[in-house]
Structure 1
Amino acid sequence: MSGNGGSGTAAAGAEKRPNELLVSWFVRSGWSKGELARQVNRRARQLGANHISTDTSRVRRWLDGENPREPIPRILSELFSERFGLVVSVEDLGLRATRQSASVTGVDLPWTGPQTVALISEFSRSDLMLARRGFLGSSLALSAGPALIEPMQRWLVPTPQAAQISQIPQPDPEPTPASRRPGRLSGPELDLLESTTVMFRRWDAQCGGGLRRKAVVGQLHEVTDLLQEAHPEATTRRLFKVAAELAELAGWMSYDVGLQPTAQKYFVLALHAAKEAGDKPLGSYILSSMSRQMIHVGRPDDALELIHLAQYGSRDCASPRTQSMLYAMEARAYANMGQPGKCKRAVRMAEETFTDAGEWDEPDPDWIRFFSEAELYAENSHSFRDLAYVAGRSPAYASLAEPLMRRAVELFADDPEHQRSYALNLVGLATVHLLRREPEQSTLLVERALRTAKNVRSERVNTRIRKTVDAAVRDYGHVAEVVDLTEKLAIALPETAEAV
């Protein structure tokens, strides 16, 4: 039975009822039973589950109520999630949830220093070796809902004494030379590691995630080697901070090129490293990146939970610029949940808090310096744009978004270091013009975005351009400028896989 991805044990002759949830998703997908079977088999082979051999009769039995064994439920979850562009969990498909270990979920990990180092080292090595688009090992899948939120809440739990950084990499009364090598890192070398991380971040902002992702992952792996040596506590904290920033950046670059499960795993590992570094503001920033990803995959309620967790955890130590960014992301979550009153309040709080950034006595860390006046305008305008879509293409919310988005475009146009943001906001402004029923203006902005996209290795930019053009064709396919734009798109952005 296992060779066919058969059902789990059940009483002989037990009556099954059709799985109405799975039937609903299946009908909406437009797939035939044969096509779904082929996709399941293909994905199983990519995961190394070569014993899986599904056919149309097996698919029919799933629809009729049979519960397949793992990894079939997880494969179906991934396939339907990709088909609809949002997280479709095993439970959403009406399939029995099975309890998985931490290594399978990829999210519920032990919050201790040695395990954090080992997991980052293992995952970054797998990433570098396998280099498969979306498949790092046999167990990587995007987590959402309680499976994601509950483990992240442990970020706020104080670290027990046994796992304090002073005892990393492995608490041992008498560490031997074999288990704990003496540190070989000098002060200038540590400074260079930190400055290299800043350089990688600049490259990402300017060129997109596709160009330097593997270099960042390689640097992260090197840092985990250093963390397995004995260092003074202050040095170990700085190394964990570097690891957290590099893991977050690897996650962000993975997100940018469309590797969503990979991105989430890096974000989770980054949060663990930030906790070991004792850097709560950095942890809140990592949670904001996770929140942005959840909005991207259609889980705004999860995004809001993550942002509230970030705000609570850093309320007494984050700079005004960081707090402003968190309010802006809170507004995005509320917008996508269709809550205009709370969205507008969060937008106002983001604006008011940002005005305090200039009076902050201490310099902001490099990871938050991206949140400029242009970025504030961009986030708040996207919140109003998202509200417009949720409210049924409301022209009123589109009118609120337009001046903010236009100002963001103007500011990013003069900033050569943030060309990806420039392209994204050109596309954002184009969508606003579509909402305002102005397709001609929209096509001009998309053409400008296309010119910028040539120099930015970002699948996120390319995807948003394609979706905007698709929307223009759907609503205004008879307009000459739109017809011309589709031809330019086919030349500028052919549908090819992106190297990462």
Structure 2
Amino acid sequence: MGRRPKQPNRQLEELIEEAGGMRKPLARRVVDRGRGHGIELRYDHSSVGRWLAGEQPQRPGPELIAEVLTELLGRKVTPAMCGMSKGQDASAELGLEFSLSLSGAVDAATALWRNDVEQRRFLRDTSYAVAVYPAATMRWLTLPGPEHPVSTGSRRVGQTDVDAVQTMASAFRDLDNKVGGGKVRSTIVQYLHSSVAPLLRGSFNEHIGRQLFGSTAELVRLAGWAAYDQEDHGLAQRYLIQSLRLARAAGDAALSAEIMAAMSHQATYVGRPGDAVDLARAARIAARGAGLAALESECHMVEAHGHAARQDQTSTAAAMNAAERAFDHAVAGEQPVWLAYFDQSYLSAKTAHCFRELGDNARTAHFAEQSLTMSVGYQRGRAFNLSLLASALVPTDPREAVRIGRGALDIAADLASRRSLSYLRDLRYRLRPFDGLVEVAEFRQQILELTRRG
């Protein structure tokens, strides 16, 4: 008898549905394939039902099933894609590779969403993997193109479907900024799994395909950013890599640059500033290809942050100056909607982060204060910027730091964002020498209580 996992085999179910949904013909083909290898098998439609329930046939059953599905679907299918891997090793790599083929990209992305919805433990127990971002960006840079995202599935996909995905991406983007990644990530993933995955398996021409892959890439990026906001760094990497792959399939250099900039942002946060610099430079190549000055400015700024985290003042200054020059050339209204957040206030916030890394409290405070002119709707960003300003004021005016920090605390209390709590923890640590002041001691206790709940 094969072993029975706790979960039904959704991967195999989706593949069988895509192949026409017939169980008996599948069993017959597998038996015929085995006979061709000199192996006598006794599979029938009941056998397929058991596989769908979670039972795994003994070898070479998984390999034969994969071979038959490869033939029926016209693309490479492996036992792991059929939910019949030999153990957790194959699953543990899910989403960490930038696929070489379009079909592989769709398989990897949809498998990631499915396993995430099913709350597979291997996705929850992963940490930041050092090598995967450099490998993904190298694939992005060297993959031949352009690609032609077309599909001949049974469901017809049209402009209305693409518009719906774009609308959902916009709605989730606004929610993420207002309430934090912890409150939206699972909903984004559920939507990807239940509504977007069937579209990617549908029938569409290249014009629709490019839009569909681009809109999906933006949604997947949001899921990755939300995971990063919750400090689920290994999970964030999987989503950002798959987002980059889908953006590449869409031929969207601008979105690709934005995704690599997000990777750079995360790399600095987890203490990999050298990688952050490399990722930012790769992002800049994509931004230059897109011809968007504001986007190129952003890429220079995330590079500057990486240099600052390495304590390289000269390179930080050069990158910040390049960011300012690029920003001065930006044309109002030219950037995509997902780049609307990148304005003078955001640029000031990133500049303040750089000076904080370099230990320059005066200039950190100056630029953090400028960042507070930010647009409404960016609640999480305001919490960050208030914490940043408060932390810079601690050495010279701890009471003012507490006053400003309370604003960050009030906002963070309504967010599901572990990053916002990390900013507050840092502020609490910086205030420690002034714990003799009553208002400081009370505020530090309030931060402790909130971060314990988070």
- TM-score class normalised by the smaller sequence: 0.7 to 0.9
- The alpha carbon displacement at 1:108 in A equals 3.1
Verify: 1:184 aligned to 2:156, yes or no.
yes
Decide whether the 8 Å contact of 1:102 with 1:108 is kept in 2: no
The structure-2 alpha-carbon separation of the partners of 1:308 and 1:259, relative to structure 1 and needing over 3 Å to count, comes to same
Question: Could you say what the CA RMSD is over the residues aligned between the two structures, in angstroms?
Answer: 2.1
1:444-465 residue CA offsets vs partner (Å, 9 max, x unmatched): 1211111111222211101211
Verify: 1:152 aligned to 2:137, yes or no.
yes
Verify: 1:338 aligned to 2:301, yes or no.
no
Secondary structure of 2:182's match? coil
Find the counterpart in structure 1 of residue 205 from structure 2: 232
1:298-345 residue CA offsets vs partner (Å, 9 max, x unmatched): 000000010111112332323111111111111101100111111112
Verify: 1:165 aligned to 2:122, yes or no.
no
Find the counterpart in structure 2 of residue 136 from structure 1: 123
- Whole-Å separation in 1 of the counterparts to 2:215 and 2:300: 26
Find the counterpart in structure 2 of residue 294 from structure 1: 267
Decide whether the 8 Å contact of 1:105 with 1:143 is kept in 2: no
- The alpha carbon displacement at 1:288 in A equals 0.5
Secondary structure of 2:236's match? helix
**One-letter amino acid of the structure 1 residue matched with residue 435 of structure 2:** G
Decide whether the 8 Å contact of 2:227 with 2:235 is kept in 1: yes
Given the alignment, which residue of 360, 373, 384 partners 1:424? 384
- The alpha carbon displacement at 1:115 in A equals 1.0
- Whole-Å separation in 2 of the counterparts to 1:241 and 1:255: 21
Find the counterpart in structure 2 of residue 440 from structure 1: 399
**One-letter amino acid of the structure 2 residue matched with residue 125 of structure 1:** R
Decide whether the 8 Å contact of 1:381 with 1:401 is kept in 2: yes
Find the counterpart in structure 1 of residue 7 from structure 2: none
- The alpha carbon displacement at 1:381 in A equals 1.1
**One-letter amino acid of the structure 1 residue matched with residue 319 of structure 2:** A
**One-letter amino acid of the structure 1 residue matched with residue 188 of structure 2:** V
1:98-117 residue CA offsets vs partner (Å, 9 max, x unmatched): xx879637533422211111
Find the counterpart in structure 1 of residue 361 from structure 2: 398
Given the alignment, which residue of 406, 425, 432 partners 1:466? 425
Find the counterpart in structure 1 of residue 216 from structure 2: 243
Decide whether the 8 Å contact of 2:105 with 2:246 is kept in 1: yes
- Whole-Å separation in 2 of the counterparts to 1:487 and 1:150: 44
Given the alignment, which residue of 194, 205, 218 partners 2:190? 218
- The alpha carbon displacement at 1:401 in A equals 1.9
- Whole-Å separation in 1 of the counterparts to 2:419 and 2:155: 40
- Whole-Å separation in 2 of the counterparts to 1:276 and 1:451: 42
**One-letter amino acid of the structure 2 residue matched with residue 165 of structure 1:** H
Verify: 1:456 aligned to 2:419, yes or no.
no
Decide whether the 8 Å contact of 1:288 with 1:310 is kept in 2: yes
- The alpha carbon displacement at 1:207 in A equals 1.3
The structure-2 alpha-carbon separation of the partners of 1:301 and 1:481, relative to structure 1 and needing over 3 Å to count, comes to same
- The alpha carbon displacement at 1:261 in A equals 0.5
TM-score by length of structure 2 reads 0.76
1:356-388 residue CA offsets vs partner (Å, 9 max, x unmatched): 2236xx631111111011101101111111111
Secondary structure of 1:363's match? coil
- Whole-Å separation in 1 of the counterparts to 2:321 and 2:175: 32
- Whole-Å separation in 1 of the counterparts to 2:90 and 2:114: 21
- Whole-Å separation in 1 of the counterparts to 2:100 and 2:453: 40
- Whole-Å separation in 2 of the counterparts to 1:137 and 1:427: 29
Q: Between the two proteins, what is the percent identity of the paired residues?
A: 26
Decide whether the 8 Å contact of 2:162 with 2:215 is kept in 1: no
Find the counterpart in structure 2 of residue 74 from structure 1: none
| Segment drifting more, 113-122 vs 216-225 | 216-225
- Whole-Å separation in 1 of the counterparts to 2:290 and 2:118: 39
- The alpha carbon displacement at 1:227 in A equals 0.9
- The alpha carbon displacement at 1:268 in A equals 0.4
TM-score by length of structure 1 reads 0.69
**One-letter amino acid of the structure 2 residue matched with residue 495 of structure 1:** R
- The alpha carbon displacement at 1:121 in A equals 0.8
Decide whether the 8 Å contact of 1:206 with 1:416 is kept in 2: no
Secondary structure of 2:183's match? coil
Find the counterpart in structure 1 of residue 48 from structure 2: none
- Whole-Å separation in 1 of the counterparts to 2:371 and 2:381: 9
The structure-2 alpha-carbon separation of the partners of 1:125 and 1:106, relative to structure 1 and needing over 3 Å to count, comes to closer
- Whole-Å separation in 1 of the counterparts to 2:238 and 2:165: 23
- Whole-Å separation in 2 of the counterparts to 1:284 and 1:466: 31
- Whole-Å separation in 1 of the counterparts to 2:90 and 2:304: 34
The structure-2 alpha-carbon separation of the partners of 1:187 and 1:160, relative to structure 1 and needing over 3 Å to count, comes to closer
Verify: 1:381 aligned to 2:370, yes or no.
no
Decide whether the 8 Å contact of 2:425 with 2:451 is kept in 1: no
- Whole-Å separation in 2 of the counterparts to 1:255 and 1:264: 8
- Whole-Å separation in 1 of the counterparts to 2:287 and 2:106: 24
Decide whether the 8 Å contact of 1:105 with 1:141 is kept in 2: no
**One-letter amino acid of the structure 1 residue matched with residue 335 of structure 2:** D
- Whole-Å separation in 1 of the counterparts to 2:427 and 2:405: 8
**One-letter amino acid of the structure 2 residue matched with residue 104 of structure 1:** E
- The alpha carbon displacement at 1:484 in A equals 1.4
Any stretches of 5+ residues in structure 2 without a counterpart? 1-88
Verify: 1:326 aligned to 2:295, yes or no.
no
Given the alignment, which residue of 179, 186, 210 partners 1:207? 179
Given the alignment, which residue of 120, 126, 148 partners 2:109? 120
Decide whether the 8 Å contact of 2:124 with 2:235 is kept in 1: no
State how 1:93-112 maps to structure 2 within 5 Å.
104=93, 106-112=95-101
Verify: 1:196 aligned to 2:168, yes or no.
yes
- The alpha carbon displacement at 1:137 in A equals 7.0
- The alpha carbon displacement at 1:193 in A equals 1.6
- Whole-Å separation in 2 of the counterparts to 1:490 and 1:402: 24
State how 1:489-500 maps to structure 2 within 5 Å.
489-491=447-449, 493=450, 495-496=452-453
- The alpha carbon displacement at 1:350 in A equals 1.4
- Whole-Å separation in 2 of the counterparts to 1:495 and 1:131: 26
1:273-318 residue CA offsets vs partner (Å, 9 max, x unmatched): 0110001111010001011111110000000010111112332323
